Chains A and B, each alone.
Chain A
Amino acid sequence: MIERIMIHRFRGIRQGHIDRLRKVNLLIGPNNSGKTALLELLYLSATCGRPAIFIRDDLLPDETGTLPARTALAHDFSGHPPFQRLRQRHGKRGEWQDNPATLTRERGIAVRLDLLKKDVRAPEVPWAEFRLEPPLPEWGEKDIYAFEQADLAQIALFSLPQPKALDASMIPPTFAESGIQPGDAHWYYLWEPDWVYRWKLQHPLDRLAVWTTHGSMPDPARVMFYDTVAASSHLTTSFAQWAYNTVPDWHEHIAERMAEIFPSLKEATIEVTDAPDNQHGRTGYVRFRGQTPLGIDQFGDGARHAFKLIAHLVALAATVDDTHPGMVLWEEPEVFQNPATLGRLLDVVVQLTKDKPIQVFITTQSLEVIAYLTRMLQHDILPPEQTLAFRLNLRDGVLRSSWFNRENLASWLESGLDPRVLEDIDAPLQFQLREEVHEDPSLC
């Protein structure tokens, strides 16, 4: 389980850290406070599972010149290429024109960091070039890790899992000051400039986004990122086929959970088959006895959203174990949901993940989501020792976080305090969590 993250120049975060991460983590805070950036950082970190060897020729023969590395998997749990998926989220659908990566003769990737330097006022790049080479296959085995031309568009970062040593040029000064030892953490280096904090360039490493994760990582193939893009897309064929073949009674489990969320679906069965009109991918069809099946996308947005989440989550929950732990990154569960449905949806998600080795990160702007989870904490449906809410705050590029445990959340909500906004605002509605009627002796 990831317990701590230190960040140097990732998206809008110039520097910052977040500690005390738990099994269930609720990220709250104003717009542009780093919630989504943190989800994306976690997604990129957790899907870094393709073995490679990091080589910096300028450091050889020092041992820091060649280190075991990981880079992005070709496809995440849902069947999407991770980096490309995030690029598309940010409106970047085309090829990366100035990609400094090329394929080497040994089917590795060579990255020319010096090609990133366009602004003469900016500091030098931290080092000119490095390579990610595929590990050598065992004798007689297929070379599954060799890179292809197509990989160049998908790969913009690598990780160094708990390296024995790192050259000083690879350690951001703030990390060095905080005393992190190379072997304490997984180190990540991302070179696509749109993902790197772009202002106040001072140090060569400022040309890269660098971060560390502390604690154990999930199985890269079991990382699920669920956002509105996922909600409005069909399931990928590769995921749907894998889930159908791997998860016993996948359709039945989806139907059961959907009926818990939408009681009107109690008598319905669900099948996942080809998307209509020869579209790519698969989708769900709801069938009531004696009636023709109805595509899930014919339902309202709330049901579509819930279905796609549940289809993935049922499969994830069924296939994780202690040696293959999972991770769920869920952006704004409240989107499209009626409050009653939202409560049931959260309840189902908690039930599916509760006793499983799945670390959950949820971002929200909704006081209802916070209140539902607080109530689950109060009733021990969510284990209090495994759950924290974090209020993020990003000022001048510095990420700060403040945590709320069960007692903080209950106390704030019962008093009408809003953990989402610390400043005094004139909100037209006030939400209060009321668990019980208090006897008030002063009024007797």
Chain B
Amino acid sequence: MKILVFAEGKTEEKVIERLKQFFPGFAFQTFDCKGKDKINSEIVTKLGPLVGQQPVRALILRDKDSGETIARIIQSVDNGLKGILKQRGINTSLQFQRVTGVWNAFVWDAPSIDFRLVIHIVSRRSLSGLTKCTIDDLVLQLAFNQDVVDHLAQRQKVDVNGQIIIQKVTQEIPMLLRQNGFPPLSEAKDYVRLYAAVTRMHTSPPVFAEVVLANTDDHLLQQNFASIIAAIEALQ
């Protein structure tokens, strides 16, 4: 069974790539929708020809931007789904249901056409004061783990204690910026870039995520991404 994953960006692709080991027998294909605004049009164009023709399993990975609510995000995806079904002449009045045991994943299941879609909404910030909840927050959360940061420092040949790296990234550098009149850092991506610079990674957030995920053990990975794993399980 193939799970089609619709993501806002490339970082999610890296996350799915790492998590797929927990789902043997499933194939994953991730689409970078290049922002949340295109997710609906992507599900309409990609899923439309499949609906009613073969089993469809789809996962939408959404961030929660400032001012957005879970209800509004679900409503937006629901509108996209209704668009597909109307276009394909399929009548159904199904609603999203919360995935059992997870408060930020919701499933839409239409057994009559063998179509199940789950939406996962990141609802955790890695640091207080951030305006959005994004996939980068989940990656950053991992990167702040003592074992992970020590691994990364060693890998990058940065001869500094992991705790000090975290302190520099989360407190000292942001404070220095603020003291010099720079606006406060507001997104996890900003901290990811700082982290990458401090550890001499010279890379983009998706590649940073790939490196962090590769240096994380399975147990921690399952803990950190428990809600995404539950979302995928809801598609089985």
Contact = CB atoms under 8 A, between A and B. Distances in A.
B80 interface: no
Interface string A383-404: 0000000010100000010111
B46 A417 contact: yes
Contact of A411 (B27, B45, B204, B205): B45
A424 B42 CA distance: 20
Size category of the B interface is: 20 to 34
A424 B54 contact: no
A412 interface: yes
A443 B46 CA distance: 24
B50 interface: yes
Classify the secondary structure of B's interface with A.
mixed
Contact of A440 (B10, B44, B48): B10
Nearest to A411: B45
Contacts of B53: 391, 393, 400, 402, 422
A202 interface: no
Greatest chain B CB density within 10 A among A400, A402, A444 is at A402
Interface string A418-444: 010010100000000000001011111
B2 A424 contact: yes
B7 to A, nearest CB: 10
A403 B212 CA distance: 42
B174 interface: no
A443 B49 contact: no
Interface in B44-76: 44-46, 48-50, 52-54
B54 A422 contact: yes
Contact of A443 (B27, B45, B52, B204): B204
A408 interface: yes
Interface string B15-41: 000000000000101010011000001
A415 interface: yes
A226 B53 CA distance: 30
Contact of A442 (B44, B49, B204): B204
Contacts of A412: 45-46, 49
Contact of B31 (A404, A415, A422): A415
Classify the secondary structure of A's interface with B.
mixed
Greatest chain A CB density within 10 A among B10, B31, B44, B45 is at B45
Contacts of A400: 53
Contacts of A62: none
Given A415-B31, A440-B10, A391 B49 contact: yes
Contacts of B41: 407
Contact of B34 (A419, A422, A424, A440): A440
A419 B205 contact: no
Contacts of B42: 411
Contacts of B46: 408, 411-412, 415, 417
Contacts of B54: 422
A444 B192 CA distance: 13
A424 B34 CA distance: 24
Given A408-B45, A411-B45, A442 B11 contact: yes
B204 A424 contact: no
A269 to B, nearest CB: 46
A402 B52 contact: yes
Greatest chain B CB density within 10 A among A403, A408, A438 is at A408
Contacts of B27: 424
A441 B53 CA distance: 35
B162 interface: no
B50 A402 contact: yes
Contacts of B11: 442
B188 to A, nearest CB: 13
Contacts of A424: 2, 27
Contact of A419 (B29, B49, B204): B49
Interface in A295-314: none
B204 A408 contact: no
Contacts of B49: 391, 402-404, 408, 412, 419
B31 A442 contact: no
A407 B44 CA distance: 9
A393 B54 CA distance: 10
Contacts of A441: 34-35
A410 B49 CA distance: 13
A422 B48 CA distance: 13
Contacts of B35: 441
Nearest to A401: B53
Nearest to B205: A442
A438 B35 CA distance: 12
Contacts of B204: 442-444
Contact of B9 (A391, A402, A419, A442): A442
Ordered nearest first, which 6 A-B pairs have the shortest CB separation?
Answer: A411-B45, A442-B9, A402-B53, A402-B49, A407-B45, A443-B204
19 contacts: A393-B53, A402-B50, A404-B49, A407-B45, A411-B42, A411-B46, A412-B49, A415-B31, A415-B46, A419-B49, A422-B54, A424-B2, A424-B27, A438-B34, A440-B10, A442-B9, A442-B204, A443-B204, A444-B204
Given A408-B45, A411-B45, A438-B34, 8 more contacts: A404-B49, A407-B45, A412-B45, A412-B49, A422-B50, A440-B10, A441-B34, A442-B11
Interface of B: 2, 9-11, 27, 29, 31, 34-35, 41-42, 44-46, 48-50, 52-54, 204-206
